[in-house]
Structure 1
């Protein structure tokens, strides 16, 4: 069954009808000329030449009409052998067309040559470098992110994040990695600043709270010791404690610092090699990250990320959107100005296109074959005739003209020879 014609197909159909009318009109005109010339040739001998030309033109016109018509249907509805060629062989035509496209248009060489001539990276870069293009990319990206956030199942996302967190954080032993990291920090002396901060803070606190030291001394001294003696001892302890902390602050090689360094390095080694220390680290990990805490942490993390991301994409002036636009424009400008980067991107695109062509070449070409197979015979014939029928009508016209000239030439030669 025929399908409704599109507007552009309707224009082609009208042009085809006009050409058919012209070709048929020539045949009718030659038929009338032949009748008149045949009737009057005895009275006017020169009309014999006209009759011969008209006769040859009709023969040529009829032969070419038959040939053109036989491509698409049975002439006059008569099922003459080797007519209606296209309807009878539509599946073979579709398969041949699919093979032709596959071999000549979907080859690696053709695709790579076309991509190389286009310069996709440079064109894309020039487009991305424009502010309005970056705005469009940002808007499309924001719409995609909003859609993804709406579609995502929060519970499923939390399960995935929790699984990843457990696999990479909870289930991994903490002792050896922490020991290696601490050992490197201690060897490079990065912890000294932290020690300085602790000592400085302790010294400031001791100086700012002398009554605390005195009270502690008084609370721990025997009840029979006079109060003034407690005060003297407290003051002495305060002075010695300040002197001791000052010495630790001023001397980078103070024995307290050395002892602390030795202890920390030993702790780092134990975390890597001492089973007891490693087991203690695991117990601490289990206390810190038990199941409820892990679940709560993951839930809060995903909620925070989702809220922040949604707020950022909804606000065109957000830092995320602004930075994304800047990154898009910068990348586009680099594609235009950096030939090496553009060549790499073009190579990636060519490799990807080559892979797609090699992998799906038969599937792509198969679309043509399968589409033609789904058409019925009449529809296939109409579609093909619509595309090439107008030019085929010129064959009928040319056949009419050539037939007329041939008929005239043959009659003239025969008349001259056999007179």
Structure 2
């Protein structure tokens, strides 16, 4: 940083820190001020010499008139330029130091100008329409560097969000959503409607086939178990050979029965299962007693501790999965996200309809933003200038435009000299001398 001395309205001077760019502007401003002052001094020297010698050298009268006009023009323009930023020579002449005195009004006027002429929906939309942002953004997104940049920024945003978010608060939100959308509505009717569609389409038959097949396998592998069930339940006075005959008969009939159910898709047992399931699906929808039983089961399965544990485990799983994915540039999620970005960018470039929609969305969003918040956006200018110190504001503006304003002093010196020469020449020609 570079420091610049500036007057504070008294004999003391404060040192203000300047950025490198402002320091460069300050140096250019000093050079122009030196040039303008040098030209004024030159005019004064020429005037003094011409005034002293004009009686002996007649044509020096014209030089004197030109120099005199140049000094007047230089002094007048110096006063005008200086009066914008400070009191000339420290004298509090009325209507001087305009910028420091009217800083807030200037800020309000600038804010209003920006609001009226730049922050209007037609202006913003016209600029966005001509810019074709969608295709330009798509061309960048389609490059590996662009997609990688968006992926990195997205990863940083996710990490930042997890840093800011409180786990207990997020779990409370998940728990609230579970209670509102999962537990509050009755389970019976929706489950019944879903089951009815499944049963009507016959999708449950594969499950029935699986159960029957497993039953057949069990019967085939458990001869002793079946026969012992008969022997253990028969009276003690029944002879053993009779128990064995009965047990063997029961096993054979059971095997035949299971085989018949297994081989016949229209078996009465299968029909009974279908009827039971269809009745259950209808009862879950329309029977108050069955609906109440479903609600009781729901409450038993998902009580308060279970819901809180579900919310905790859900959030923990999501958090760890996302963090692991965004921290590993070689993870499947990271690679898929990057690929999706590049594909979307390529579509923006190649598909006119998609690009047109995106441009329209951008235009609508920007138009809504400037229409709704134009006063707030422009108000930033007014509020910022209002917070600035009056002299600091004057210095900031002078550093930006002061060098160009010094040309007014130079032009004033030249124009004044030409005007003085012209006036003297005309007056001399008309009135003589």
User: With structure 1 as the length reference, what TM-score do the two structures score?
Assistant: 0.93
- 1:37 Cα deviation after fit: 1.4
- 1:267 Cα deviation after fit: 1.0
1:308-340 deviation per Cα after TM superposition (whole angstroms, max 9, x unaligned): 333333333222222222222222222222222
Segment of structure 1 superposing worse, 264-273 or 112-121: 112-121
Q: Identify the residue that residue 114 of structure 1 maps to in structure 2.
A: 127
In structure 2, relative to structure 1, the CA distance for the partners of 1:26 and 1:293 (3 Å cut) is: closer
1:239-286 deviation per Cα after TM superposition (whole angstroms, max 9, x unaligned): 322322232233222222222111111111111111221122222222
Structure 1 distance, partners of 2:416, 2:313, is 90
Consecutive unaligned residues of structure 1, counting only runs of 5 or more, are none
Task: Trace 1:11-410 onto structure 2 (pairs within 5 A).
Answer: 11-410=24-423
- 1:192 Cα deviation after fit: 1.1
Consecutive unaligned residues of structure 2, counting only runs of 5 or more, are 1-7, 9-13
Structure 1 distance, partners of 2:89, 2:318, is 75
SS of equivalent residue, structure 1 residue 4: strand
- 1:101 Cα deviation after fit: 0.9
Segment of structure 1 superposing worse, 195-204 or 406-415: 406-415
1:278-312 deviation per Cα after TM superposition (whole angstroms, max 9, x unaligned): 12222222222233333333333333333333333
- 1:361 Cα deviation after fit: 1.5
In structure 2, relative to structure 1, the CA distance for the partners of 1:296 and 1:94 (3 Å cut) is: closer
Structure 1 distance, partners of 2:316, 2:44, is 88
Structure 2 distance, partners of 1:231, 1:287, is 46
Segment of structure 1 superposing worse, 340-349 or 257-266: 340-349
- 1:211 Cα deviation after fit: 2.1
Structure 2 distance, partners of 1:159, 1:395, is 69
Structure 1 distance, partners of 2:77, 2:411, is 9
1:355-377 deviation per Cα after TM superposition (whole angstroms, max 9, x unaligned): 22222211221121122222233
- 1:398 Cα deviation after fit: 1.3
Structure 2 distance, partners of 1:30, 1:241, is 130
Runs of 4+ in 1 over 4 A off after TM superposition: none
Report the count of equivalent residues. 419
- 1:21 Cα deviation after fit: 1.5
In structure 2, relative to structure 1, the CA distance for the partners of 1:372 and 1:139 (3 Å cut) is: closer
- 1:27 Cα deviation after fit: 1.6
Structure 1 distance, partners of 2:411, 2:286, is 98
In structure 2, relative to structure 1, the CA distance for the partners of 1:248 and 1:107 (3 Å cut) is: same
In structure 2, relative to structure 1, the CA distance for the partners of 1:402 and 1:358 (3 Å cut) is: same
Q: Identify the residue that residue 431 of structure 2 maps to in structure 1.
A: 418
Structure 2 distance, partners of 1:221, 1:239, is 18
In structure 2, relative to structure 1, the CA distance for the partners of 1:382 and 1:187 (3 Å cut) is: same
Structure 2 distance, partners of 1:58, 1:128, is 62
- 1:191 Cα deviation after fit: 0.9
- 1:93 Cα deviation after fit: 1.0
User: With structure 2 as the length reference, what TM-score do the two structures score?
Assistant: 0.90
Segment of structure 1 superposing worse, 85-94 or 315-324: 315-324
Report the RMSD for the aligned CA atoms in angstroms. 2.1
In structure 2, relative to structure 1, the CA distance for the partners of 1:147 and 1:372 (3 Å cut) is: closer
In structure 2, relative to structure 1, the CA distance for the partners of 1:62 and 1:297 (3 Å cut) is: closer
Structure 1 distance, partners of 2:318, 2:90, is 73
